[in-house]
Structure 1
Amino acid sequence: MEAYPPTPIILTGQYVTLEPLNHTHAEGLEAAASDGKLWNLWFTSVPRPEKVHEFIETALAEQLAGKSIPFVVRRSEDEAIVGSTRYMNIEQVVRRLEIGHTWYAASAQRTPINTECKLLLLRHAFESLDCVAVEFRTHRFNEASRRAILRLGAVQDGILRNHRIGADGTLRDTVVFSILQSEWPAVKMNLNFKLSQYLER
């Protein structure tokens, strides 16, 4: 069992490796964000290619402050960087954190990559960090993200209305989900089953 709160770590699966974010990942993140022009989705926070260095600086500053642990997602098949994710909103007293700021290149979507990323992050949170709960949040109107979170086995806790101001200046409602430590065994079984389905294709 590792000490809480989390520290930078490499998490390796069959389809992806999650690596602690650093400045050398800038070019790969620029390519990933450009694959599908993801910054055009108004309900996401994907950086434009010219903003990737700023994205990295902000993420690393939050890590230094103990607020988050950012990762890049590297696809095992070709070693390309295909996205980013992080532990964030790390509670210092209660062992609770959020998995968020997740985005993937268009070529990585509808593949086993997200399923395995969540399995790696959740397994480390519950089995190594002994977290009591892991949280997910998304924009109220991001229906695809809401469905994906529910498919993980998370439970919707509620909606924080007028919670944040979006990049376009509009107020955002945030939907909050969580998985409890007691629910992890069933969620783990579900995620492993989903990955096994990909192997059979």
Structure 2
Amino acid sequence: MPAPVILHGRIARLEPLAPHHVPGLVAAGAAFGSAGFTIVPHGEQEARTYVFQAEAAQLAGTALAFAIVTIEDECVVGSTRFTRLEYWQGPLTWPLSAEPVVTHPGRAIPDAVEIGNTWLTPAVRGGIVNLEAKLLMLTHAFDGWGVRRVTLRADARNLRSRAAIERLGAVSDGVRRAHSRGLDGAVRDTAFYSILRDEWAGVRLRITEQLAARVEVRRAPLIPATAEALHPFAAPIG
């Protein structure tokens, strides 16, 4: 499984999701109604379960979840995660195995990954926080891990989310019909998008220009300039 990290931005910081984020998740989720397109924890018990399940997925090597924290006021405003990690290393064998090939235990690096399960409290939704969070995660995936593909998906009915993904410069891979059950119980179509390694430079420039149009860039860069600046999260999770 990939090592957890803290991703430092100018507007927001992404921290590995942990129990101390529960009060912030409760406050951030309180502004949501009971239904939506993404799972949002409501109340302390749901928030604790949300964090527990995220930690279990991280230990299993299937996901790496973050709390999104604003730097100015140190408030938790939502959550996001790397999920559906794919590993292509090692010799091709039959039958094929979904288990990662681990050179260094606890440090397996994915070849492809999905960014998803993202939600933000309405006060900051659709703004610069989400844009910078996506840039931080894409930078870590492509420049830190060296992945070949990042996937993003959305309920086909979620036009707001689809528009946000398209503004990043992600390419549509089509809509999978009757793909799964939505949170409202209806059978949903799912819109898939992807960014490939060869497309990353253009996407990075596109997002950086969008950020620059919204904030005044002074001395500090919007994101760490190199993969080495993405400091490993040394403390154990949990």
Q: Normalising to structure 1: TM-score of the pair?
A: 0.92
Contact 2:35 2:184 in 1 (8 A): no
State the percentage of identical aligned residues.
40
Q: Distance in 2 between matches of 1:42 and 1:18?
A: 23
Partner of 2:70: 75
Contact 2:126 2:164 in 1 (8 A): no
Partner of 1:183: 199
Amino acid at match of 1:44: T
Q: Distance in 1 between matches of 2:174 and 2:127?
A: 29
Partner of 2:176: 160
Partner residue of 2:12 out of 5, 11, 16: 16
Q: Report the 3-state secondary structure (helix = DSSP H, G, I; strand = E; otherwise coil) of the residue aligned with 1:106.
A: coil
Total equivalences in the alignment = 195
Q: Distance in 1 between matches of 2:50 and 2:191?
A: 24
Partner of 1:133: 149
Q: Which has the higher contact order (CA 8 A, sep 6+)?
A: 2
Misfit runs of 4+, over 6 Å: none
Matches within 5 A, 1:1-201: 6-34=2-30, 36-37=31-32, 39-49=33-43, 50-93=45-88, 95-200=111-216
Q: Report the 3-state secondary structure (helix = DSSP H, G, I; strand = E; otherwise coil) of the residue aligned with 1:189.
A: helix
Whichever structure has more helix as a proportion of its residues is 1
Shift of 1:46: 1.4
Q: What 5-or-longer segments of structure 2 have no aligned partner? A: 90-110, 218-238
Amino acid at match of 2:62: K
Shift of 1:44: 2.2
Amino acid at match of 1:62: A
Q: Distance in 1 between matches of 2:126 and 2:58?
A: 29
Q: Distance in 2 between matches of 1:171 and 1:84?
A: 25
Q: Report the 3-state secondary structure (helix = DSSP H, G, I; strand = E; otherwise coil) of the residue aligned with 1:107.
A: coil
Of the two, which has the highest radius of gyration? 2
